Amino acid sequence: MDKGGKKNPKDYYKKALTLADLKPGDILTFEGEENDTISFLIMKLTNSVVTHGALYFQDSPVKALADAGKSGLHAHKVENKPKSRNVYVSRIKMPGQGGFFGDDKIYYVLHSAKGYLNSNLKYPYSDLVLLALIMVFKDISKVSISLPVILGVLKFVTVEIKRLIDARMHEGKHPMVCSAFVYQCYLDAGKKDERLKLNLNADADMGDFTCRSVRQLQGAKTLFELYAEHAEEYNYKTEVFATREPEVTKEELDALLKQGVEDVKGDRVMVLKNFSLSGVIEKFLEVLLDYYGIEWKDTESLIEKARKFQSMFVTPNDLCFHIDNTEKLGYIALDRHSKDLPDEEITTKYDAEK
């Protein structure tokens, strides 16, 4: 662990692996890229070196993973190449005596993943959506990031999600960010065997920060809780939060993300409760829940339903460190091909319902 309290995955994932060591269903977390602004901000906001999660999906006809990436939910060929990013591999354990589940049980996880792959869902800006979810639902009180950056990211993502709703692109099917996809596949499998659900431990929201410079959000740990406190102060009559701020263009967003990179390198005071921030968070939550088909009728129920959504939201850092019922197997340098795997190279063995 470094001086800032950041965990070094290789202190926990100690064994060097090859592709032969991996089994379908294994959980993969990828190190981030510091030269990518969104990846860099995800690492800073989660105090982690990992920014992407995936499932190792198949050994043949080609070795491939399944994940939610920039092009949506797809499979991608992988190769073990020394100069590639480090990927940390964990595997779900059986309770009690330990050991791992057999292929017959992991089938449920892979069947779920195959269903999502078959949907061929597009999901633009998935990494940016992950960043927005982290900003709202995770504890970022120990990171310096300015209000304009937060507002810009949330406004841009809100508009993009609203466009997906208006276009009816997915007809009730809901793409997910990378780590949520992995978690959801195991959650789906848990309906067949409850032991297959990934157990997110209670400390996940706290991240891996030390208490070196705690700047509390007026008692709240997250921007979502800050908004909830603000709404309660106004007896949930949040019309006062309404804003008519203009949309953020892609060019403006890029500039704000660069500003965010500079923010997190500094030591500024964290943003505090204000009408503009609460209004933007409320609009983000409304669109997010609408997109996932979660019904709400007023501000109180919006907050209640969003809190349940928060409890299910996992980051790549959570997958790497905060799942209680997995074993940390080791690490591998893995090249994930950017091109989506064609249908003829994706196994059909997980299509059948069991």
315 pLDDT exceeds 60? Answer: yes
For residues 43-58, give the mean pLDDT.
95
Return the residue matching tokens 């089938």.
Answer: 107
Is residue 74 within 8 A of residue 340, CB to CB? The reply is yes
DSSP codes joined into one string, 279-333: HHHHHHHHHHHHHTT----SHHHHHHHHHHHHHH---HHHHHH-BTTEEEEEEEE
What CA–CA distance (Å, rounded) separates 229 from 282? 12
Strand partners, 87: 30, 332
pLDDT at position 242: 81
The 10s digit of each residue's pLDDT in 245-269 is: 788 999 999 999 999 999 998 876 5
Mean pLDDT value across the chain: 87
Residue 210's pLDDT band (cuts 50, 70, 90): very low
pTM, to two decimals: 0.89
Return the residue matching tokens 């069991």.
Answer: 354
**Most confidently modeled of 23-37, 60-74, 116-130, 215-229?**
23-37
pLDDT at position 88: 98
The 10s digit of each residue's pLDDT in 69-110 is: 877 789 999 999 988 999 999 999 999 877 999 999 999 999
Q: What percent of the chain has pLDDT over 90?
A: 67
| Closest of 110, 2, 94 to residue 47, by C-alpha | 2
Is residue 347 within 8 A of residue 58, CB to CB? The reply is yes
What CA–CA distance (Å, rounded) separates 231 from 226? 9
What CA–CA distance (Å, rounded) separates 65 from 334? 11
213 pLDDT exceeds 90? Answer: no
Residue ranges of domains in the chain: 9-343
pLDDT at position 94: 94
Strand partners, 336: 78
Max CA distance (Å), the chain:
59
Residue 48's pLDDT band (cuts 50, 70, 90): very high
The 10s digit of each residue's pLDDT in 104-159 is: 999 999 999 999 898 877 777 889 999 999 999 998 888 889 999 999 999 999 99
171 pLDDT exceeds 60? Answer: no
Residue 206's pLDDT band (cuts 50, 70, 90): very low
Q: How many residues appear in the chain?
A: 354
pLDDT at position 219: 55
Residue 198's pLDDT band (cuts 50, 70, 90): very high
What CA–CA distance (Å, rounded) separates 264 from 142? 10
pLDDT at position 99: 92
Is residue 124 within 8 A of residue 156, CB to CB? The reply is no
